[in-house]
Amino acid sequence: MELLAFGDTGWGDELFYATLMTIAVSITAMLIGFLFALIFTPLKLSKNKFLNLIANSYTTVIRGVPELLVIYLLFFGGTGAVMYVASIFGYNEYIEINAFITGAFSIGIISGAYSTEVFRGAIQSIDKGQFEAANVLGLNKFGKFFKIILPQTLRLAIPNLSNVWQITLKDTSLISVTGLVEIMRQSYIAAGSTRDPLFFYSFAAVLYLLLTFLSMKLINKLEVRYSRGY
Amino acid sequence: MDIELMVSSFPKLLGATVITLKLLSVSLVIGLFIGLIFAILRLNKNIFINRFAYGYSYIFRGTPLLVQIFIIYFGLGQIEYLRSTVLWVILKEPYWCAIIAFALNTGAYTSEILRSAFQTIKPGLIEAGKSLGISNKIIFYKIQIPIAIRQSLPAYGNEIILMMKGTSLASTVTLMDLTGVAKYIISTTFKPVEVFIVAGGIYLFMTFIIHNAIKYLEKKYSFN
């Protein structure tokens, strides 16, 4: 228990902040994923073959290639890509991208591919009559989407999105390879300096279990909320 | 775009693919066995056995695979007692540590897949077997297991693909699998895009093969 003490003698406070970091990265990645889903779901549902192809390549590649490989691509290639874009605008200094941004972005791309599939499935399973009814009521495009389609999509999507969240949360452990100090990285550091890897990695496992358990509780509440009326 | 690097790294990456495939196939076979045992335990009416099987799958599905590998590879070596037993022959090898972690992980997911498959078997099929005077044992082996396997094929196909991607974590415990070699080439040449295209292409090709193989099996064993 001394190992987990707060302050200079133990690793309690370090691990606590690392847990907060994991939560922060997971939420940011999930939101970035939603952003990707917002772009790619309409492309998937579009009737244009070319747009379909773009969206399908995105989801197929990301879901067929290991997460670690995607992280390495962005970790080693991210700086180069950003500097290239900056050089087009005439900025030639070295740019260092923060590990948090690289990490959240790479996990976000991965989580976005899964979210896209979930939203596509949810929208496709909404009854055609709902779209027609919205038209008959004379709602404009925004009203139709936000008042009729979106609430129903959310209800159908939440159970699957909770799976995406679990995947995203667990995937954040992989960005420890880029040096961002989240649970996994902090346990690695603590295990190295105390020579007690069994204890610290097991404790990391407990922290992850706690996070998945608590988030499931929260999501179940959301599910109940969005299923009102059914 | 450095085409030359892509061509020269292709054979190296292909060689590493052999290790990826070995890790995948060995852990899938062991994992399927573990999954089947735990699925049967989950259906047991004894609450302790039931809870034990549920706890196993909950822990392995609720924690990242990376943590599991690290506990087995770095953690277990710390126990003095283990170092003196025969088990140490296996546990000191990163290859076997990775396989143990993968097998336990995929076993947890497989047990959930098989359990839900067992539970969705129509009771009428079992009753039909009973009314024909077939013994419970034979009903289990000849009726329940074949139907459960057919039912779980689509979900199990996804699990195989997820596991294939999971084997990339072997590179974190010094194994030179496809991702390990890709990372090595990236960090020595600083050409991430080229290497990603080749390595990612190999992974995608494997995903494609697995996907179609499962589809073929699904069709072959479909009820209609």
The answer to whether B117 touches B40, Cβ cutoff 8 Å, is: no
By mean pLDDT, which of A171-180, A211-220, B78-87 is the weakest? B78-87
pLDDT at A229 over 90: no
Which residue pairs from A183-189 have beta carbons closer than 8 angstroms and sit at least 24 positions apart in sequence? Answer: A183/A15, A183/A18, A183/A19, A183/A21, A183/A22, A183/A207, A183/A208, A184/B64, A184/B66, A184/B67, A184/B70, A185/A18, A186/A11, A186/A14, A186/A15, A186/A17, A186/A18, A187/A15, A187/A18, A187/B70, A188/B70, A189/A14
Q: Residue B11: is it exposed, middle or buried by C-beta count within 10 angstroms (0-12/13-18/19+)?
A: exposed
**Domain limits, chain A:** 17-119+157-226
* Domain with B212 in it: 3-220
With cut-offs at 50, 70 and 90, classify the pLDDT of residue B166: very high
- Best mutation target among A60, A72, A171, A210 (most B Cβ atoms within 10 Å) is A72
Query: How many distinct structural domains can be found in chain B?
Result: 1
For the stretch A31-72, pLDDT in tens is 999 999 999 999 998 889 999 999 999 999 999 999 999 999
Taking the C-alpha atoms of residue A64 and residue B178, their distance in angstroms, rounded to an integer, is: 14
pLDDT of residue A169: 95
Whether B18 has its CB under 8 Å from any CB of chain A: the answer is no
Q: Are B18 and B95 in contact (CB under 8 A)?
A: no
**Do B168 and A68 count as a contact with CB atoms less than 8 A apart?**
yes
Going from the C-alpha of A132 to that of each of A38, A45, A129, A157, the distances in angstroms are 23, 17, 5, 21
Poorest-pLDDT segment among A1-5, A49-53, B7-11: A1-5
Q: How far is B38 from chain A (nearest CA, A)?
A: 20
Shortest Cα–Cα distance, A154 to chain B (Å)? 24
Scanning B120-144, the segments in alpha helix (DSSP H) are 123-131, 136-139
Q: Which two tokens stand for residue B66?
A: 């990376």
Q: Rounded distance, CA B33 to CA B135, Å? A: 24
* CB within 8 Å: A198 and B71: yes
Q: Does B78 touch chain A (CB under 8 A)?
A: yes
What is the full DSSP assignment across A126-194? Answer: S-HHHHHHHHHTT--HHHIIIIIIHHHHHHHHHHHHHHHHHHHHHHGGGGGGGT--SHHHHHHHHHHHH
Nearest CB to B165: which of A66, A205, A212?
A66
Using the structure block, give the residue that is written with the tokens 């499935």. A121
- What does the alpha-carbon distance between residue B164 and residue B180 come to, in Å, rounded to a whole number? 14
Interface predicted TM-score (ipTM) over 0.85: yes
Closest CA in chain B for residue A57? B204
Q: Is A6 on the interface with B (CB under 8 A)?
A: no
Using a CB–CB cutoff of 8 Å, tell me whether B187 touches chain A.
yes
What is the structure's pLDDT at B201?
95
What digits encode the pLDDT tens for the residues B126-146?
Answer: 899 999 999 989 998 888 888
In sequence order, what are the residues at sequence separation of 6 or more whose Cβ sits closer than 8 angstroms to the Cβ of residue A38?
Answer: none
Q: Is A114 helix (H, G, I), strand (E, B) or coil?
A: helix
d(CA B191, CA A51): 29
CA distances from B180 to A117, A204, B161, B163 (A): 29, 24, 18, 16
Could you tell me the pLDDT band of residue B224, with boundaries at 50, 70 and 90?
Answer: low
Give the mean pLDDT of B171-181.
Answer: 93
Query: Closest Cα of chain B to A145: distance in Å?
Result: 32
Asked whether the beta carbons of residue A208 and residue B67 sit closer than 8 angstroms, the reply is: yes
- pLDDT tens across B182-221, in order? 999 998 988 899 999 999 999 999 999 999 999 999 988 8
Mutation for testing the B interface, residue in A26, A65, A114, A169 having most B CBs under 10 Å: A65
Tokens of A69: 């490989």
Question: What fold is seen in the domain A17-119+157-226?
Answer: MetI-like fold (1.10.3720)
Distance from CA of A230 to the nearest CA of B (A): 24
Give the other-Cβ count within 10 Å of B33's Cβ.
Answer: 13
Domain containing residue B9: CATH number: 1.10.3720.10
Phi, psi of A95 (to 5 degrees): -115, 125
- pLDDT, tens only, A105-143: 999 999 999 999 999 999 988 888 888 888 898 888 888
b/e string for A184-216 if b means 16 or more Cβ within 10 A?
A: bbbbbbbbeeeebbbbbbbbbbebbbebbeebe
As a whole number, the mean pLDDT across chain B is 91
Of residues A80 and A71, the one with the higher pLDDT is A71
